[in-house]
Amino acid sequence: MANLGNITNTSEILQKYRFRMQKKYGQNFLIDTNILHKIVEAAQITKEDCVLEIGPGIGTMTQYLAEAADKVIAVEIDKDLIPILDETLAPYDNVTLIQGDILKVDLHKLSREQAKDRPFKVVANLPYYITTPIIMELFESHIPLTSITVMVQSEVADRMQVGPGTKDYGALSLAVQYFSRPEVVTRVPASCFIPRPNVDSTVIRLTRHTSPPVEVTDEAYLFAVIRASFNQRRKTLVNGLVNAGNLGVTREQVEEVLTQMGISKTIRGETFTLERFAELSNRLAQGRR
């Protein structure tokens, strides 16, 4: 089987199987070998590594990962791609193919049975509509991963690394920075894919912190506070938290905590740093008990 990553081989395999792109899966196949090499290099894959690839598509990047890694676990949601993957990955005995939705896969079971509980690296080309849920699931599940190297819409990559006070700053920025150190690897123009998407993409590596940069008494509560703070961006932080309904706090409690922190009651969530959110959630969680 010829290596993929160029328009000729990609087109041939798609035509052979009469494969039709499904819009609901946001399918765009990479046809630039330089970008493929950059992704594998950025993910720092070695022969010691176990790699989880989300959305292998027709196996373009999987082939490169299989040649660089000890083992690759590829999870593909589209059943129609499985026969293609069976062919394109046939030469690689170190690839395990799983058909399923990564958001429904038992990640702990996968880690235990496939990766034998050793740390692994995640590599993925993620469609825009599902990027945030997948990244949050990977981090919040606390499976033993060391890094996530993903290709995402450039706008999403920008959101992952910005700070307070910017229009792109939000819950995703805070979550990514709580769990990892984000670094942009390279920009990828729309011309590097078939079919050609409407926007450019960016490869970004999220290197997991050995321990979070802030201390919180309840991690899940921290993220509930963060999400509530950004659900209604035009409202004050107080209104966002009170209206959330799942935080177990009253307006009086929120205002009292802000006063204790020396912060105005009219503050908005987008001005809060991760450190301030950590302090806020710790104080609110204590008051709730």
Q: Which of 208, 234, 263 is the last residue of a domain?
A: 208
The pLDDT tens digits along the chain (289 residues) read 567 888 899 999 989 989 887 777 778 899 999 999 999 999 999 999 999 999 999 999 999 999 999 999 999 999 999 999 999 999 999 999 999 999 999 999 999 999 888 899 999 998 777 898 999 999 999 999 999 999 999 999 999 999 998 889 999 999 999 999 999 999 999 999 988 988 999 999 999 999 999 999 999 999 999 999 998 777 899 999 999 888 999 999 999 999 999 999 999 999 999 999 999 999 999 877 5
What is the number of other CB atoms lying within 10 angstroms of the CB of residue 79?
9
Is 1 inside any structural domain?
Answer: no
Q: Say if residue 237 is in the same domain as residue 166.
A: no
Distance, CA of 4 to CA of 16 (rounded, Å): 14
Q: Say if residue 60 is in the same domain as residue 184.
A: yes
Structure tokens at 227: 């999400």
For 48-128, where are the alpha helices, taking DSSP H only?
Answer: 60-68, 82-88, 107-113
Q: What are phi and psi of 154, to 5 degrees?
A: -55, -35
Starting at the edge strand found earlier in the chain, the sheet holding 95-99 runs 95-99, 71-76, 50-54, 120-125, 145-153, 201-208, 180-188
Q: Say if residue 114 is in the same domain as residue 241.
A: no
Q: Which of 208, 238, 264 is the last residue of a domain?
A: 208
Structure tokens at 7: 């328009």
Q: Which residues constitute the domain of residue 241?
A: 219-288
Distance, CA of 119 to CA of 105 (rounded, Å): 18
Q: Say if residue 138 is in the same domain as residue 242.
A: no
* Helix H or strand E encompassing 207: strand 201-208
Q: Say if residue 67 is in the same domain as residue 165.
A: yes
Q: What are phi and psi of 84, to 5 degrees?
A: -65, -45
Q: Say if residue 39 is in the same domain as residue 134.
A: yes
Number of domains comprising the chain: 2
pTM of the model: 0.92
- State CA 174 to chain mean position distance: 13
Q: Say if residue 202 is in the same domain as residue 231.
A: no
Q: What are phi and psi of 148, to 5 degrees?
A: -125, 115
